[in-house]
């Protein structure tokens, strides 16, 4: 299944236009975790500004499959 991993807050959505093909939900969670890890590596100081931001896994129909609160995983 293809999932899109969008970054969101109350005002903005930064859509994932490519998506990632995953075989199951366990792989989807691994992909999300890796994305959060990469975000931290790219700009560790930006993690302070993650309050209110989420990473949402979205299916091709636009339904949110799961959401990760970025501030909660600091």
Nearest C-alpha neighbor of 3 from the set 59, 64, 74: 59
As a whole number of Å, the end-to-end CA separation of the chain is: 28
Q: What are phi and psi of 20, to 5 degrees?
A: -135, 135
Q: What is the pLDDT of residue 11?
A: 93
Q: What is the pLDDT of residue 73?
A: 67
pLDDT < 50 regions, the chain? none
d(CA 9, CA 21): 24
Residues paired with 2 in a beta bridge: 21
pTM: 0.85
Domain hosting 53: range is 2-73
Domains in the chain: how many in total? 1
């Amino acid at each position: 299944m293809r999932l899109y991993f969008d970054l969101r807050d109350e005002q903005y959505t930064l859509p994932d236009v490519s998506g990632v093909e995953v075989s199951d939900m366990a792989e989807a969670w691994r992909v999300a975790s890796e994305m959060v890890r990469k975000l931290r590596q790219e700009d560790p100081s930006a993690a302070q500004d993650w309050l209110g931001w989420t990473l949402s896994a979205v299916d091709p129909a636009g339904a949110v499959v799961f959401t990760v609160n970025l501030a909660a995983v600091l």
